[in-house]
């Protein structure tokens, strides 16, 4: 198990496996830790030869190629700041990220570069469609507090904003995750999440710091994931709820499912029905439910031994994180009392890139009772802690449904809707209603053939004020660039008139 050493290092030091052990498993070849170290050193040398100023931003708009996996370390070694761009984003979104970050280099593929239009790329930006190799650079001596990466949020509610992450943020996040999920050198992590997503990028760092290997995968269908688990003999798979829904609907040979010994979830809550499904489908796997946000990395996790008894819980603080439940007056909430989840400690990011106004709104002084103090992230998420300190997610303040004088958690409605066989995916939205304040509209995946059975079951299981006023059925629900359900797009569907 990776020890909880609180002293961070530059992130390019993260390669700590046996030099002869596999570090990066590709479709066509496998690179050992020694080979990855050499490749990082030469890629860093190529970047250094461009003579960019210290701290210049370099962007990658790539699928999970070897270059995409190595650039976070190579840029850091060259004294530059990495800006990963999710490969599913389109030219307008990419142009915004390039302009906002002030990137001086864009590494991409020829076909992607060809989609960019005049004005999308500033005149001082170099567009490279292949990674180069230069004189090998030694491991960096960067200040761990220095800026190492800017990760742009998915931008479902407005233009993406860049979260500034230091070497220390990345390093301690890798140590923390590798420790509490107990990654071992013999593990093989199938990396299916986007590398521009903090959860996806951490798959690389937490694996390598533990001496384990990573197999990056760009997939189109759940069947691709099943095949990859078999092909690379994967032991670990990280996902978000929509992916688990797809994987539970896929066919899994029993021997392939049995290979997985660790599943981790973030980016949205697992419903009790999903927990039951995953525990049944992957009986040998330990299931880690986790919560986090890019501004504070990972915040909490639920130990697997508690998942059956407390599937609704997001657990307690991960190592290096301090999480607090705070009343509106800034004092600590009591057990059983809802409050805002506030994050402090060395995993807290440095704010939003070139956005002092939004930084001041989200990154504020920690509550007076904080053990760590300093700057904290005020999440806007409402949670409640029980007597044992285990947290349960209630909802985001801006997503809570205010109906008939009640505050309703969308998650509670969604869990009830997906608890039966009528649908596996649903989102509850509050829509303006002259009589109730807001009515509850559920957007669900399916044909609607079982709506009568669903409504009959909900009437048995939910109070009157939590009953959906309307259920909208769709063949598929929209997802954002990180694979999560796009609640903004789904809210637009919910607000359409019934005959629209």
Does a structural domain hold residue 311? yes
396 has a pLDDT exceeding 80 = no
Average pLDDT over residues 244-262: 96
Does a structural domain hold residue 6? no
409 has a pLDDT exceeding 60 = yes
Tokens of 449: 């053939």
> Which among 385, 420, 445 is the end of a domain?
385
Average pLDDT over residues 67-71: 98
Where residue 358 sits, what CATH number does that domain have?
A: 3.40.50.12780
154 has a pLDDT exceeding 80 = no
Same domain? For 341 and 412 the reply is no
434 has a pLDDT exceeding 90 = no
The pLDDT value given to residue 378: 97
Q: Cβ distance 156 to 487 under 8 Å?
A: yes
258 has a pLDDT exceeding 60 = yes
Same domain? For 104 and 196 the reply is yes
Same domain? For 418 and 363 the reply is no
Does a structural domain hold residue 203? yes
Same domain? For 429 and 280 the reply is no
pTM of the model: 0.87
Q: Cβ distance 315 to 300 under 8 Å?
A: yes
Same domain? For 435 and 299 the reply is no
For the stretch 161-172, pLDDT in tens is 999 999 999 999
Same domain? For 363 and 405 the reply is no
Q: How far is CA 377 from CA 77, 222, 317, in A?
A: 29, 35, 14
Domain total in the chain: 2
Same domain? For 327 and 449 the reply is no
Q: Which residue has the higher pLDDT, 267 or 364?
A: 364
The pLDDT value given to residue 158: 54
Does a structural domain hold residue 346? yes
Least confident stretch, 15-29, 42-56, 86-100, 139-153: 86-100
The pLDDT value given to residue 93: 86
Where residue 439 sits, what CATH number does that domain have?
A: 3.30.300.30
pLDDT-derived band at 271 (thresholds 50, 70, 90) equals confident
> Which among 356, 385, 414 is the end of a domain?
385
Same domain? For 369 and 406 the reply is no
> Which among 363, 385, 407 is the end of a domain?
385
Does a structural domain hold residue 5? no
294 has a pLDDT exceeding 80 = yes
For residue 383, the number of C-alpha atoms closer than 13 Å in the C-beta half-sphere is 30
Least confident stretch, 104-113, 383-392, 432-441: 432-441
Range of the domain at 250: 11-385
Same domain? For 316 and 420 the reply is no
The pLDDT value given to residue 156: 40
For the stretch 208-230, pLDDT in tens is 999 999 999 999 999 999 999 99
Same domain? For 407 and 320 the reply is no
- With a pLDDT cut of 90, the percent of the chain lying above it is 82
Q: Cβ distance 234 to 257 under 8 Å?
A: no
Average pLDDT over residues 458-483: 91
Does a structural domain hold residue 2? no
Q: How far is CA 195 from CA 68, 83, 85, 97, 181, in A?
A: 8, 10, 8, 15, 20
Same domain? For 355 and 412 the reply is no
Average pLDDT over residues 66-86: 97
Residue 22 neighbours by CB under 8 Å, 6+ apart: 30, 31, 32, 33, 213
Tokens of 125: 């930006």
Same domain? For 324 and 422 the reply is no
Least confident stretch, 231-235, 322-326, 341-345, 460-464: 460-464
| C-alpha span between 17 and 30 (Å, rounded) | 14
Helix (H), strand (E) counts: the chain: 14, 25
499 has a pLDDT exceeding 70 = no
Does a structural domain hold residue 449? yes
pLDDT-derived band at 155 (thresholds 50, 70, 90) equals very low
Does a structural domain hold residue 1? no
- With a pLDDT cut of 70, the percent of the chain lying above it is 99
pLDDT-derived band at 407 (thresholds 50, 70, 90) equals confident
The pLDDT value given to residue 465: 84
For the stretch 333-359, pLDDT in tens is 999 999 999 999 999 999 999 999 999
């Amino acid at each position: 198990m990776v020890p909880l050493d609180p002293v961070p290092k530059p992130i390019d030091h993260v390669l700590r496996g046996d030099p002869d052990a596999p570090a990066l498993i590709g479709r066509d070849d496998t690179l050992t830790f020694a080979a990855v170290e050499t490749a990082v050193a030469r890629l860093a040398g190529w970047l250094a030869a461009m003579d960019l100023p210290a701290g210049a931003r370099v962007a990658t708009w790539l699928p999970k190629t070897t270059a995409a996996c190595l650039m976070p370390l190579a840029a850091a070694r060259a004294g530059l700041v990495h800006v990963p761009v999710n490969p599913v984003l389109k030219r307008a979104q990419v142009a915004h990220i390039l302009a906002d970050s002030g990137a001086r280099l864009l590494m991409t593929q020829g076909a992607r570069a060809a989609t960019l239009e005049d004005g999308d790329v500033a005149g001082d930006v170099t567009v490279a469609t292949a990674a180069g190799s230069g004189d090998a650079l030694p491991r960096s001596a960067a200040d761990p507090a220095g800026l190492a990466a800017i990760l742009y949020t998915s931008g479902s509610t407005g233009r993406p904003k860049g979260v500034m992450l230091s070497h220390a943020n990345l390093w301690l996040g890798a140590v923390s995750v590798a420790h509490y999920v107990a990654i071992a050198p013999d593990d093989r992590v199938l990396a299916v999440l986007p590398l521009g997503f903090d959860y996806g990028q951490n798959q690389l760092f937490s694996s390598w710091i533990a001496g384990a290997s990573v197999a990056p995968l760009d997939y189109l269908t759940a069947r691709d994931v099943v095949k990859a688990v078999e092909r690379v003999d994967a032991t670990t798979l990280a996902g978000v709820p929509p992916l688990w829904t797809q994987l539970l609907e896929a066919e899994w040979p029993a021997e392939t499912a049995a290979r997985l010994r660790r599943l981790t979830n973030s980016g949205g809550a697992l419903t009790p029905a999903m927990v039951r499904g995953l525990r049944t489908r992957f009986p040998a796997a330990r299931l880690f439910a986790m919560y986090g946000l890019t501004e504070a990395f990972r915040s909490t996790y639920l130990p697997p031994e508690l998942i059956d008894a407390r599937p609704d819980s997001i657990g307690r603080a991960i190592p290096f994180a301090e999480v607090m439940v705070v009343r509106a007056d800034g004092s600590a909430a009591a057990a059983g009392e809802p409050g805002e989840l506030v994050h402090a400690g060395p995993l807290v990011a440095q704010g939003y890139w070139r956005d002092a106004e939004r930084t001041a709104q989200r990154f504020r002084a920690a509550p007076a009772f904080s053990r760590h103090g300093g700057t904290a992230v005020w999440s806007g998420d409402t949670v409640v802690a029980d007597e044992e300190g285990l947290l349960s997610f209630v909802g985001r303040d801006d997503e809570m449904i205010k109906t008939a004088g009640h505050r309703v958690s969308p998650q509670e409605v969604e869990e009830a809707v997906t608890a039966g066989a009528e649908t596996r995916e649903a989102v509850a939205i509050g829509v303006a209603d002259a009589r109730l304040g807001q009515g509850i509209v559920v957007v669900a995946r399916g044909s609607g053939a079982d709506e009568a059975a669903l409504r009959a079951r909900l009437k048995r299981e939910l109070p009157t004020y939590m009953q959906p006023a309307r259920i909208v059925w769709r063949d598929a629900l929209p997802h954002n660039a990180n694979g999560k359900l796009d609640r903004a797009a789904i809210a637009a569907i919910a607000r359409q008139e019934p005959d629209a």
